[in-house]
Structure 1
């Protein structure tokens, strides 16, 4: 494997690019936009290189970079990429340029930013991208934690500085929830170091994820079960808030509705994936026994979240809030697939992270384009849009059908794998989770009928169709939903070996099918 520092370049390019954007003179607003877009496209190009050079059947972690950072604390600058992280890195690299184009005209100069609103908006978006990418490639627990928490700051300013009328309250709510989770996780990170320092397996203590996971898997590093449960709880609590898992979801609807559509998608489709990624990497591999111990509780909460999110979505009058609640339901599916601990479930969950990002981005952005034209988020304010803006209505329908996991569109494959993986261990819970298929059809089709169908309501006759800039955003998302729905093999070829490695590390083989005995002769 090449020794070129691709992973450092991956996160440093948007970090440095964001710093340059914010330092540009205030009058160079257009240059700030184009420079930010160019930086995001460079990140996409680096990701393509990683995809081409990645060997699915090779080492579990590739493109590894390992440098001493604070040796006395057993922490280092350790980066590496497995198939699970690569899938989410690819999602991030694809979405960010599209989100920058989608939010091209969302920001006007505001007094509070001293004429630099455009610079700040685009620089903060690149900052979130940099920190998400760093979190995905970090193989040092402390390094991961630093960027897991740091990404909250630029996201806070994106919500609070550029959102709607209730942006300040939503931003504070977002920050407090996630900072509290991060505080609990910090205690668990420190506790993990202490128990490694007390173990004979490490001299001194360490934050090296690979070393700890390998020692746990081999039995060389054994933690008292009560201590392990507490440490697992600290990590899981932070990830459950970030994901979010019901009932830790209360911050999400307000933040999603008050942020600009592009920032809301950045939060739901990109940043929140770090929470479910953390469950797969850190909760399962560092604390396999605790993960199995708490598995019934977590998957029960996940199923409740699946049904709850779908039911509440049906009753929403605000289209943006409706889409936010659908994400809570989808995150329930992702977490369910992770903790049933089967190869189908975890492969489906990882693919679901990608597919949810694509479908939610498409649906939320198209709804945002519509709201920007009419000025209202209320579903009742619309009607007959398909007659005056057929392309907008058609793409909204395709994105909505993807959200309800229609066969032929990419979320169907991932949802199907999650349900199959769940059924092999928990058939009753799989049946309950399957009810979301019916509920999602209700909230999507009913919403489409009310907003896009019927006679044209007064005021809607002036709604114009998607313009070329908006088509540039929507077309790649629709194309990916269709392509991955018809041919998901390239994505699964990257994901499956990493899932197999995870399940082998935590010693969780797939359940053996029970064959009914026939009559003897």
Structure 2
């Protein structure tokens, strides 16, 4: 496959629309819950297989797009169906396909309208993939907004007691920022058309629009208002703990592992390249917000008694670390940020899987009702300990490699920022060790409702555990594909 050329077979479209075909099949099979489960699992396994096949078939070390598709769509308004895959989006596509398989398996026992549940999970997969692949701003925005629908319904219908409140809060936080981005897109489209006579929403063309610094700043703030909410960057994070606390297990897996990553991706793919001067001016502000979020979220996480809220705040802290690496504007720091973003997707999803399994056995998410898991569930406790240690950044496990690269890169360009961030990394260990102590050690307060790990649960946890160890010991397969795209983004995203 020649980098940068259009593919003869529309592989990207196949990736994008395959989950939507699964949605239709689930709805057709809605009278058989078991058939819906297997259909959802099959479509996501096939999706993962195609994503891995692409990864082994393309030359990930080349510059430009690894796969590219461009077709006329709404020609009158300059809207095209343009998809592109580079090393960054390749990793995120594989992560999406893998976590979708995990989301289906952890929800295997859903018995309340299962056809609609699995259809929503599959629809969310198409929306997330669209965000990672779209290179036309209208197409990107359609998928960006499509993410709202399945996640809103999953939380609002299959969530816990305060699910409606959490779903509405999630919806309004994300929609408000997205509307500002839409206004900026339309304004940028009109300005570009006035300057060139060509009205288009193509990302590459809009990068060439001549903007005053004031215009750049206004547009940049509008785009960042959408992306900062999704990350979520402090102080736009307030919706996340409630959403995680109330969401079903699959919702938490996709929310932490995938939806939050779309915010970071939007920053590096759209906000920085479109408005480089404004982006350069904002770097100290982004670093400040990232550091505040890193410390604030760690402190709040330590005080939580609900285990899902604790892990939710840990995501705010970890994503703050990712944004700090981007603000350092350094090749090593950026590679570390993207590596941590992918690894955090795996470790956070693994933790939410563990919390779902703990809840199934204790009937609670409250630390006060837990303890002594190691005595009655030693196998599950071992997995819990592994994923918790990976989350706090233990050397040899997944998150450590990304964190150390961020610190190295940030020290090279902004040593003060990195010195402060080191303290934040230490704080992350405090809340994670508190979680481990409260769940695994001590006396057993509640009798367990299930035996130690069941066969389906082994199938869930073993791939996650292998990835956590492998990516901690040998992260190079994730670093190789992103090197060229990171170099191009750093050179093209700043004057």
TM-score bucket of the superposed structures, by smaller chain: over 0.9
Structure 2 residue aligned with 1:486: 473
Check conservation: 2:84, 2:134, Cα contact below 8 A.
Answer: yes
| Per-residue deviation, 1:48 | 1.1
CA distance in 1, matches of 2:143, 2:439: 40
Matched residue SS, 2:365: coil
Matched residue SS, 1:456: coil
Structure 2 residue aligned with 1:208: 202
User: Is the counterpart of residue 135 in structure 1 residue 131 in structure 2?
Assistant: yes
User: Is the counterpart of residue 8 in structure 1 residue 8 in structure 2?
Assistant: no
| Per-residue deviation, 1:291 | 0.3
Check conservation: 2:67, 2:86, Cα contact below 8 A.
Answer: no
Structure 2 residue aligned with 1:185: 181
Check conservation: 1:99, 1:473, Cα contact below 8 A.
Answer: no
CA distance in 2, matches of 1:16, 1:304: 43
Matched residue SS, 2:173: helix
Structure 2 residue aligned with 1:443: 431
| Per-residue deviation, 1:463 | 5.2
Q: Which moved more, 1:462-471 or 1:323-332?
A: 462-471
1:96-135 alignment, distance < 5 Å: 96-105=100-109, 107-109=110-112, 117-135=113-131
- How far does the alpha carbon of each residue in 1:174-194 deviate from its partner, in whole angstroms, 9 at most, with x for none? 001111111111101111101
Residue 4 to residue 453, structure 1, CA distance change in 2 (3 Å): same
1:312 to 293, 297, 300: 300
| Per-residue deviation, 1:454 | 2.1
Q: List alignment gaps of at least 5 residues for structure 2.
A: 2-6
Check conservation: 1:380, 1:451, Cα contact below 8 A.
Answer: no
User: Is the counterpart of residue 251 in structure 1 residue 254 in structure 2?
Assistant: no
| Per-residue deviation, 1:24 | 2.0
Q: Give TM-score, length-normalised by structure 2.
A: 0.97
User: Is the counterpart of residue 50 in structure 1 residue 54 in structure 2?
Assistant: yes
Structure 2 residue aligned with 1:223: 211
User: Is the counterpart of residue 36 in structure 1 residue 23 in structure 2?
Assistant: no
Check conservation: 1:382, 1:460, Cα contact below 8 A.
Answer: no
| Per-residue deviation, 1:462 | 5.2
Q: CA RMSD in A?
A: 1.3
Matched residue SS, 1:199: helix
CA distance in 2, matches of 1:422, 1:3: 42
Structure 2 residue aligned with 1:516: none
User: Is the counterpart of residue 468 in structure 1 residue 462 in structure 2?
Assistant: no
Matched residue SS, 1:198: helix
Matched residue SS, 1:170: helix
CA distance in 2, matches of 1:463, 1:29: 23
Larger Rg: 1
User: Is the counterpart of residue 21 in structure 1 residue 21 in structure 2?
Assistant: no
Check conservation: 2:51, 2:94, Cα contact below 8 A.
Answer: yes
Check conservation: 2:277, 2:494, Cα contact below 8 A.
Answer: no
CA distance in 2, matches of 1:25, 1:374: 31
Aligned pairs, how many? 490
Residue 461 to residue 126, structure 1, CA distance change in 2 (3 Å): closer
Structure 2 residue aligned with 1:112: none
1:501 to 466, 478, 488: 488
Q: Give TM-score, length-normalised by structure 1.
A: 0.92
CA distance in 2, matches of 1:401, 1:271: 23
User: Is the counterpart of residue 370 in structure 1 residue 370 in structure 2?
Assistant: no
Matched residue SS, 2:413: coil
CA distance in 2, matches of 1:276, 1:388: 40
Check conservation: 1:349, 1:414, Cα contact below 8 A.
Answer: yes
CA distance in 2, matches of 1:268, 1:160: 17
| Per-residue deviation, 1:54 | 2.4
Residue 59 to residue 425, structure 1, CA distance change in 2 (3 Å): closer
Check conservation: 2:302, 2:431, Cα contact below 8 A.
Answer: yes
Q: List alignment gaps of at least 5 residues for structure 1.
A: 110-116, 216-220, 509-521
| Per-residue deviation, 1:507 | 4.0
1:360 to 328, 336, 348: 348
1:79 to 59, 77, 83: 83
Check conservation: 2:361, 2:448, Cα contact below 8 A.
Answer: no
| Per-residue deviation, 1:451 | 1.8
Check conservation: 1:159, 1:260, Cα contact below 8 A.
Answer: yes
Matched residue SS, 1:424: helix
| Per-residue deviation, 1:59 | 3.7
User: Is the counterpart of residue 176 in structure 1 residue 172 in structure 2?
Assistant: yes
Matched residue SS, 1:77: strand
Matched residue SS, 1:460: coil
